[in-house]
Amino acid sequence: MVPVHNNSSDATRAISSVVAQTMPAKELIIVDDASDPEQLKLLKAYLGALDSAPPIRLICLPENVGPGLARHLGAQQAEGEHVAFLDADDQWHIEKLETVAPLLTSGRASLVGHQRPWRFEVGTDDLRSTISGAPIRALKRRHFLRRNPIPTSSIVAKREVAQTMFALGGRRAEDYMALLVATANPGTTRFIAAPLCFASKPPFGHSGEGADQREMYAATFRNAMRLRELGHLGKTEFITHIAWLVAKVPVGLLRQARYRRMPRGGSIT
């Protein structure tokens, strides 16, 4: 499930990485979040030219709702037993679905995530590197109260989890909020220590909705207040979550400054 908004050139790379999977997806749902007409035209042209791909459904929203609600609306249309999320500016490793699937189909997990290193230029070697024997560990609720350990483009979840986790929408830190919703309910979350997805920009403080780290922290606080009001965070959980958030601010702002100074050829794994 790929949300797209005025970034058709990035989206084509993301979609290509889905098409290239060694384990084909049952379907590919793309939600265009009210892109400009020219951007939507380019996206449709690309989709129309695909020779081999899973069945594709393009959902065009009449007005911009933000990435959180766009993911939620897309997940509602999913027909498969599991839903995998992919941001339009990220790309999957070709063995991503094949690697993740056994954890979900065996019942060992209701939600799975993995590493997502970034580089300004993601190459073929990155997306086709050998993946085998990667460590797998369980993530507990306490891990999510401290920080967001699972990048959005790594999330694969049971359909019933995927169809509810983004229901609160949001434009900033919405992925973290969604994971706090998902892990508040019974279920097992697993993390695979392997680079099964690559981002083409730093995780925050560089561009897009996450460009302003101060606003991201403010949004995380507002989201926490909302989760507390709705009962997704208990009193002790809320206090723990906010304490860790405050502690992270100085380091996060230093990292933002570093990312902004970094030449385009830089990368971090």
pLDDT tens-digit map of 153-181: 999 999 999 999 999 999 999 999 999 99
Looking at residue 263, its pLDDT comes to 63
Model confidence pLDDT, tens digit, residues 82-123? 999 999 999 999 999 999 999 999 999 999 999 999 888 899
Q: In what order do the strands lie in the sheet with 267-268?
A: 90-92, 197-199, 118-119, 267-268
Contact 238, 224 (CB under 8 A): yes
The distance in angstroms from the start CA to the end CA of the chain is 25
Check whether residue 232 and residue 195 sit in a common domain: no
Alpha-carbon dihedral of residues 265, 203, 123, 191, nearest 10 degrees?
140
* Residue 85 domain boundaries: 2-199
Half-sphere exposure of residue 166: CA atoms within 13 angstroms, side-chain side: 30
Q: What is residue 24's DSSP assignment?
A: -
123-137, 161-175, 226-240, range with the lowest pLDDT: 123-137
Task: Give the 3-state DSSP-derived string for 198-235, with helices as H, strands as E and coil as C.
Answer: EECCCCCCCCHHHCCHHHHHHHHHHHHHHHHHHCCCCH
Of 159, 177, 199, which residue sits at a domain end?
199
In this predicted structure, what is the pLDDT of residue 211? 65
Containing 133, the helix (H) or strand (E) segment is none
- Tell which of 177, 199, 221 closes a domain: 199
User: 268 pLDDT band (50/70/90 cuts)?
Assistant: very low
Kindly report the CA angle at 57 between 160 and 108, in degrees rounded to 5? 30
- Output the CA torsion sign for 179, 202, 24, 189: negative
What is the percentage of the chain residues whose pLDDT exceeds 70? 93
Report the C-alpha gap between 180 and 143 in whole angstroms: 10
Give yes or no for residue 207 having a pLDDT over 90.
Answer: no
Mean pLDDT score, 16-20: 96
Shared domain check, 242 and 139: no
Tokens 């993995």 belong to residue: 114
- Shared domain check, 171 and 243: no
Please tell me whether residues 173 and 256 are part of one structural domain.
no
Q: 227 and 195 in one domain?
A: no
Segment holding 264, helix H or strand E: none
What is the chain's mean pLDDT, rounded? 92
Where do the H-state alpha helices sit in 149-212? 159-165, 174-182
pLDDT for 258 equals: 76
How far apart (Å, rounded) are the C-alpha atoms in residues 224 and 110? 23
Is 156 found in the same domain as 38? yes
> Quick check: 260 pLDDT over 80?
no
Same domain, 109 and 7: yes
Q: Which of 153, 170, 199 is the last residue of a domain?
A: 199
- In terms of pTM, does the model score above 0.85? yes
50 and 115, same domain (yes or no):
yes
Same domain, residue pair 106 and 228: no
269 inside domain: no
Note whether residue 91 is domain-resident.
Answer: yes
Mean pLDDT of 41-53: 92
Question: Please, which pLDDT band fits residue 2 given cuts at 50, 70 and 90?
Answer: very high
Q: One-letter amino acid identity for 258? A: R
Most distant pair of Cα atoms in the chain: their distance: 53
Same domain, 91 and 157: yes
Please name which of 124, 34, 118 lies closest in space to residue 70, comparing C-alpha atoms. Answer: 34
Between CA 126 and CA 248 the distance in angstroms is 30
Q: How many domains does the chain have?
A: 2
171 within domain boundaries: yes
CATH of the domain at 106: 3.90.550.10
147 and 237 share one domain: no
Does residue 267 carry a pLDDT above 50?
Answer: no
